[in-house]
Structure 1
Amino acid sequence: MKGFVDEMRAVAMKMHTKDQAREGEKEPVGPPIAAWDPSVDGYLKFLVDSKVVFDTLERIVTVAPHPSYGEFKSTGLERSGQLSKDLDWFKEAGYSIPESSKPGIAYSNYLQQLSENDPPAFICHFYNIYFAHTAGGRIIGKKVAEKILNKKVLEFYKWEGSVPQLLQNVRIKLNHVSSCWSREEKNHCLEETEKSFEYSEEILRLILS
Structure 2
Amino acid sequence: MASIHSISQSQLFSKKPQFISTQKTSIFPITTSFNPSNRFVLKSKKMVMAAAGTTAAAEEKSKKRYPGEGKGFVEEMRFVAMKLHTKDQSKEGEKEAQEKPLPKWEPTIDGYLKFLVDSKLVYDTLEKIVDKADFPEYAEFRNTGLERAESLEKDLAWFKEQGHSIPEPSSPGLNYSAYVEELSKKDPQAFICHFYNTYFAHSAGGRMIGKKVAKEVLNGKELEFYKWDGDLSQLLQNVRDKLNVVAENWTREEKNHCLEETEKSFKFSGEILRLILS
Give TM class, smaller chain: over 0.9
Match of 2:149 in 1: 80
Which amino acid counterpart does residue 200 of structure 1 have in structure 2? S
Report the aligned-residue RMSD.
1.3
**Aligned residue in 2 for 1:41:** 110
Amino acid paired to 2:78:
R
Superposed, 1:101-180 pairs within 5 Å as 101-180=170-249
The answer to which structure, 1 or 2, has the higher relative contact order (CA under 8 A, 6+ apart) is 1
Aligned to 1:24: 93
Q: 2:125 maps to what in 1?
A: 56
Structure 1 residues 176, 77: CA separation in 2 closer, same or farther (over 3 Å shift)? same
Give CA deviations for 1:48-76 in whole Å, capped at 9, x if unaligned: 00000000000000000111000000000
TM-score calculated relative to the size of structure 2? 0.73
Q: How many matched pairs?
A: 208
Q: Report how far residue 27 of structure 1 moved.
A: 3.1
The one-letter amino acid of 2:265's match is S
For the residues of structure 2 that align with 1:27 and 1:146, how far apart are their CA atoms? Answer: 29
Residue number among 149, 160, 180 corresponding to 1:91 in the alignment: 160
Query: Could you tell me how far 1:19 is from its partner in structure 2?
Result: 2.5
Where structure 2 has 5 or more consecutive residues not aligned to the other structure, the ranges are 1-69
Mapped partners of 1:27, 1:44: distance in 2: 31
> As a proportion of its length, which structure holds more helix?
1
Secondary structure, in 3 states, of the residue corresponding to 1:195?
A: helix
- Report deviation, 1:20: 2.0
* CA–CA distance in structure 2, aligned partners of residues 28 and 48 of structure 1: 29
Q: Which runs of 5 or more residues in structure 1 are unaligned?
A: none
TM-score, with length taken from structure 1: 0.96
- TM-superposed CA distance for 1:26, in Å, is 2.2
Larger Rg: 2
Cα distance in 2 for residues equivalent to 1:88 and 1:49:
15
Q: Does 1:191 align with 2:260?
A: yes
